[in-house]
């Protein structure tokens, strides 16, 4: 016979006996057989008690044996199947050890109210009568009947007894004495009955089995007492199964009840009651050690232990495994396949899920696997069936953790429902830092099972059937903000500022996680919670100021330093420069409406990106303006999810600058002079203009976005909760670093956005390479030591170059399959203008540098014609300031040159990355416009003051 154990998932799973070849608990069966053999030998060697002894000798030296075998295991471990299988094997004819099972009793299935001992005797009688019916030995029949009758008096006392008060005293006394003698002899008479039954049946041992005793707590202790008092024959073996922890609880509860009974009325019991828990614990330990001897306990292993003990277990599936002729597969391998395919998590990362699953009751494991197998079509695993099976198996745990089961089952579930469930589960279990990875690696079983279910929910939500990659990516960004972002921001930026649970609820109410609203609103409400300084965690708090307060010369010099020092650059008049802040970008958009050159398109694209990132927060009678990378991600999610015909309206709606309320449940301390900002906000007044340009002006932007979506709609769709959490974690903490490294005194709006975009691209690149389902090992190896961006783009450039190098030798590379999310972000038309620059050829680099240092005009004459000429007096002031700056810093232009070269290298690597997927890159028609005109667009965007010395004249 093969050593492999095969479980057929196509067959019904029940608690009936199974043949030895399919019994999982092989080691436990060996232990049980050894104990039975020991008891059989012991029974033959014992000098049986001769009841002709004097009464006093029997009183002080009774012959009592405890042959109880405790089969322990958690609920669903297979105890019933194990007991039935063992009894079935021992009941076979020609048993060499001469053992006879006579009773299998499940108290939960018994409806009559008679004592369990009476039921045992009835089972023995039925077995013996059946055996005697085959013989004509009347002597044995008479002796057995005599034994039955001698127990009658003792059996009467197993009930409540006769409590009638109307009986004659003398009669009552005689009856009581008779009962007392009968009760004292009941154990001895029952042992004589066992001896006689064993003699008639010609066996050494009789077996009685009790199953599921601990599930009916009202009778569990009664059965334990029955074993202690009466089942003491050396020819009787008792098999009893259950969960040890439940037996402990049952015995402790009984002992505590006995010790507490009436103690309240006893003086001085208060002091003794302090020791009650310890006393109860000690009594429970000793009682169970006596009734269920430790040396007679057999533990049924869970699947994890069985596999560890090298037990070879296979499952037979409905359909054969692809590439084989055998539908059987090792159970651990099958579990790994089901989890990996359903959750879209690589085998190297599913260990927490597999370990949790293997530690579950075997019944639960097999039922889940059977459910998945029945829904599998042509070996393709149905991930929805895993969710359904997990949900139904752990519904109690889900309710305990307040998970909205009904909502999670909805195919059109809102991402905030998942985010809310994740947030509450993480917060309530102290797992806010990384709990949103949705891994079952906590300390609570209900937490772990709930996380397993949520991971399945997230996988199904992010990878719906018959859905484009764009929709999945949009959902990915939505859920990133609703789940990981909400948890991390609460942990790092909110929790320390609140004191009560009500204030925690206020946080949820404020950000709107408990509402079915769009992701932009959620992300916008993060801004005030994050902005304890002018720039923090990817959020800019923008000055509201008048043009009279702008240090124009300093601002223009900084723009020239960044985008090219030239005399011919046209800034316009003072009133054209940085009018009141970012909410006035729309005015410059409309002023360029007559220009149909690419410059106008790319500037509008850049301005629209700022608009999609911007909003205001009302603080009392004042307002603060914010530019947030979180809002930009939210806008991207909405654009990815919307249909192509709705792109224009979506852009128009999202690019308005909405105003939100400030949180009243916390008072964030600002590190800058917020009172000064308030004064400026009052001077400017309310901003209700927003970004309300003519909708026709966004036709080109609409085309860019649709082009981008079409290039990515067929990318590989393999997104997971783990990938979601990993990307967000890197984004969050890198934003923290890069924000703190920014020099706010000389920060341009375009530079801030550029650095935020570095973070997004780098985070997606590194984490997707490592955690995307079925990723590329060459890429993983190349990025094993990848670094975060800090104050320069060099780390991002290096990481992109490593990816290009890793896959350069492969033919027909499809980056939208290897790194679909990263490719989506790298090709985003809203990101690229802030990263793009003209890439010179190797032969004209030196000439280009020389022209830059000479101040050659870089901007087109078209822009110069559109914007008004610069004021001469202002130009003289500027030249004087530049002269002073050069005297103080001889290396200033070298620094500009270095930054310029870094930007060239980055954009060149991005272009190379995109062009690796040549088929897709040809569809990205906007790349040429962006490359040629982005610098000019950025020089205009930068005129809108956000902070620092430009506003401190």
Would you state the pLDDT for residue 271? Answer: 63
- Straight-line distance from the first to the last Cα atom of the chain, in angstroms, rounded to the nearest whole number: 92
Number of independent structural domains in the chain: 1
Position 107 scores a pLDDT of 78
Evaluate whether residue 85 is within a structural domain.
yes
Question: Are the beta carbons of 599 and 933 closer than 8 angstroms?
Answer: yes
What was the pLDDT predicted at 684?
A: 35
> Is residue 201 situated within a structural domain?
yes
- List all residues 6 or more positions away from 933 whose beta carbon is below 8 Å from its beta carbon: 598, 599, 601, 602, 603
Query: CB atoms < 10 A from the CB of 848, how many?
Result: 16
Residue 535 lies in a domain: no
225 assigned to some structural domain? yes
Cα-trace Rg, the chain: 40
- Rounded to an integer, what distance in angstroms lies between the CA atom of residue 271 and that of residue 761? 67
pLDDT at 483: 95
Residue pair 316/22 in contact (Cβ under 8 Å)? The answer is no
Query: How many Å apart are CA 581 and CA 56, to the nearest integer?
Result: 107
Boundaries of domain holding 245: 26-46+63-159+173-260+278-299
Which of the 8 DSSP states describes residue 165? S
Query: What is the reported pLDDT for 139?
Result: 87
Dmax of the chain from CA atoms?
Answer: 135
pLDDT at position 871, please? 38
Q: Quick check: is 665 in a domain?
A: no
**pLDDT score at 566:** 45
pLDDT in tens, 814-865: 777 889 999 999 999 999 999 987 666 543 444 444 444 333 333 333 333 3
At residue 714, the pLDDT reads 84
**Residue 60's pLDDT is what?**
63
pLDDT digits (tens, 9 = 90+) for 275-303: 788 888 888 899 999 999 999 999 988 88
pLDDT, position 474: 95
In this structure, are residues 728 and 435 in contact, taking their beta carbons and an 8 Å threshold? no
Q: Is the dihedral of CA 454, 459, 462, 467 positive or negative?
A: negative
Domain presence at residue 68 = yes
pLDDT computed for residue 829 by the predictor: 94
pTM across the whole model: 0.81
* DSSP 8-state secondary structure symbol assigned to residue 481: I
Q: Could you tell me if 939 and 859 are in contact, meaning their C-beta atoms sit under 8 angstroms apart?
A: yes
What is the rounded distance in angstroms from the CA atom of residue 208 to the CA atom of residue 130? Answer: 17
Low-confidence ranges of the chain (pLDDT < 70): 1-3, 12-22, 47-62, 110-113, 153-154, 156-184, 214, 261-273, 319-326, 378-379, 532-533, 543-599, 667-697, 743-746, 809-813, 838-897, 918-922, 943-953
Determine, yes or no, domain membership for 714: no
Which pLDDT score is estimated for 694?
44
Instruction: Give the CATH number for residue 181.
Output: 3.40.50
Query: What secondary structure does DSSP assign to 781-822, as a single string?
Result: HHTTT----SSSSHHHHHHHHHHHHHHTTSSS--HHHHSHHH
178 part of a folded domain: yes
Residues 6+ apart with CB under 8 A from 433: 488, 491
Strand 614-619 and strand 622-628: the pairing is: antiparallel
Handedness of CA 280, 282, 285, 291 (dihedral sign): negative
pLDDT at 477: 97
């Amino acid at each position: 016979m093969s050593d492999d154990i095969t479980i057929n998932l196509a067959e019904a799973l029940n608690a009936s006996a199974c043949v030895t070849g399919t019994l999982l608990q092989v080691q436990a069966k060996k232990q049980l057989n050894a104990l039975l053999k020991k008891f059989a030998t012991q029974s033959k060697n014992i000098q049986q008690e001769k009841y002709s002894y004097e009464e006093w000798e029997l009183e002080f030296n009774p012959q009592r044996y405890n042959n109880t075998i405790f089969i322990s295991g958690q609920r669903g471990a297979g105890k019933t199947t194990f007991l039935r299988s063992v009894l079935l094997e021992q009941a076979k004819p020609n048993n060499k050890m001469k053992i006879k099972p006579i009773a299998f009793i499940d108290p939960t299935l018994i409806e009559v109210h008679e004592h369990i001992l009476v039921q045992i005797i009835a089972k023995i009688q039925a077995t013996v009568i059946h055996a005697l019916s085959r013989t004509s030995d009347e002597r044995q029949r008479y002796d057995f009947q005599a034994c039955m009758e001698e127990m009658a008096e003792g059996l009467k006392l197993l009930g409540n007894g006769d409590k009638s008060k109307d009986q004659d005293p003398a009669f009552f006394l005689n009856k009581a004495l008779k009962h007392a003698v009968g009760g004292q002899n009941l154990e001895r008479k029952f042992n004589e009955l066992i001896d006689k039954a064993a003699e008639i049946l010609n066996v050494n041992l009789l077996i009685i089995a009790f199953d599921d005793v601990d599930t009916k707590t009202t009778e569990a202790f009664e059965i334990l007492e029955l074993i202690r008092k009466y089942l003491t024959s050396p020819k009787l073996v008792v098999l009893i199964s259950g969960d040890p922890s439940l037996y402990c609880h049952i015995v402790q509860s009984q002992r505590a009840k006995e010790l507490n009974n009436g103690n309240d009325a006893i003086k001085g019991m208060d002091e003794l009651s302090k020791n009650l828990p310890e006393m109860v614990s000690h009594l429970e330990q000793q009682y169970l050690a006596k009734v269920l001897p430790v040396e007679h306990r057999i533990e049924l292993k869970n699947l994890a232990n069985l596999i560890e003990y090298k037990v070879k277990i296979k499952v037979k599936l409905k359909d054969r495994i692809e590439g084989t002729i055998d539908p059987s597969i090792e159970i651990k391998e099958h579990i790994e396949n089901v989890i990996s395919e359903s959750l879209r998590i690589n085998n190297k990362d599913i260990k927490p899920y597999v370990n949790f699953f293997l530690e579950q009751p075997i019944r639960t494991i097999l039922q889940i696997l059977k459910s998945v197998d029945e829904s599998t079509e042509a070996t393709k695993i149905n991930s929805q069936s895993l969710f359904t099976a997990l949900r139904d198996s752990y519904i109690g745990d889900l309710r305990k953790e307040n998970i909205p089961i009904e909502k999670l089952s909805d195919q059109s579930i809102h991402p905030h429902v998942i985010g809310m469930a994740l947030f509450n589960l993480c917060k309530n279990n102290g797992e806010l830092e990384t709990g949103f990875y949705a891994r079952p690696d906590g300390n609570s079983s209900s937490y772990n099972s709930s996380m397993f279910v949520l991971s399945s929910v997230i996988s199904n939500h992010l990878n719906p059937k018959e859905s484009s990659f764009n929709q999945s990516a949009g959902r990915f960004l939505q859920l990133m903000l609703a789940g990981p972002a909400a948890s991390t921001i609460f942990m790092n930026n909110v929790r320390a500022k609140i004191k009560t649970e009500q204030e925690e609820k206020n946080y949820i109410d404020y950000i709107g996680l408990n509402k079915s609203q769009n992701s932009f609103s959620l992300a916008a409400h993060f801004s005030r919670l994050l902005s304890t300084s002018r720039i923090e965690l990817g959020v800019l708090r923008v000055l509201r100021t008048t043009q009279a307060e702008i240090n124009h010369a300093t601002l223009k010099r900084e723009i020239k330093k960044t985008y090219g020092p030239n005399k011919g650059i046209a800034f316009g008049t003072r009133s054209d420069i940085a009018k009141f802040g970012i909410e006035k970008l729309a005015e410059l958009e409309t002023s360029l409406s007559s220009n149909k050159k690419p410059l106008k398109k790319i500037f509008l694209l850049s301005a629209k990106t700022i608009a999609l990132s911007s909003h205001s927060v009302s603080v009392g009678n004042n307002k603060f303006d914010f530019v947030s990378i979180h809002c930009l991600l939210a806008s991207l999610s909405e654009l990815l999810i919307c249909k192509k015909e709705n792109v224009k309206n979506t852009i128009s709606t999202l690019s308005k600058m909405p105003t939100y309320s400030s949180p009243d449940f916390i008072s964030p301390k600002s590190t800058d002079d917020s009172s000064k900002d308030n004064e400026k906000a009052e001077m400017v007044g309310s901003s209700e203009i927003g970004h309300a340009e003519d909708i026709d002006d966004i036709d080109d932007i609409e085309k860019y976005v649709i082009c981008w979506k079409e290039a990515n709609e067929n990318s590989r769709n393999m997104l997971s909760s783990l990938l979601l959490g990993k990307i967000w974690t890197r984004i969050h903490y890198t934003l923290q670093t890069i924000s703190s490294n920014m020099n706010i005194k000389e920060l341009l709006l375009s530079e801030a956005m550029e650095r935020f975009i570095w973070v997004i691209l780098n985070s997606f690149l590194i984490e997707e390479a490592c955690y995307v389902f079925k990723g590329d090992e060459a890429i993983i190896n190349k990025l094993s030591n990848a670094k975060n961006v800090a104050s320069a783009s060099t780390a991002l450039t290096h990481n992109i170059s490593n990816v290009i190098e890793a896959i350069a030798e492969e033919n027909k590379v499809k980056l939208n399959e290897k790194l679909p999310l990263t490719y989506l972000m790298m090709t985003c038309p809203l990101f690229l203008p802030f990263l793009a620059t003209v890439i010179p050829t190797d032969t004209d680099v030196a000439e280009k540098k020389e022209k830059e240092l000479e101040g050659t005009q870089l901007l087109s004459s078209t822009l110069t014609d559109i914007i008004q000429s610069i004021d001469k007096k202002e130009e003289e002031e500027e030249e004087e300031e530049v002269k002073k700056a050069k005297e103080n810093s001889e290396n200033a232009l070298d620094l500009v040159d270095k930054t310029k070269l870094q930007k060239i290298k980055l954009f060149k690597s991005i272009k190379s990355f995109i062009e690796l997927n040549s088929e897709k890159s040809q569809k990205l028609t906007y790349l040429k416009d962006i490359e040629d005109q982005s610098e000019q667009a950025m020089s205009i965007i930068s005129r809108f003051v956000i902070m620092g010395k430009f506003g401190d004249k």
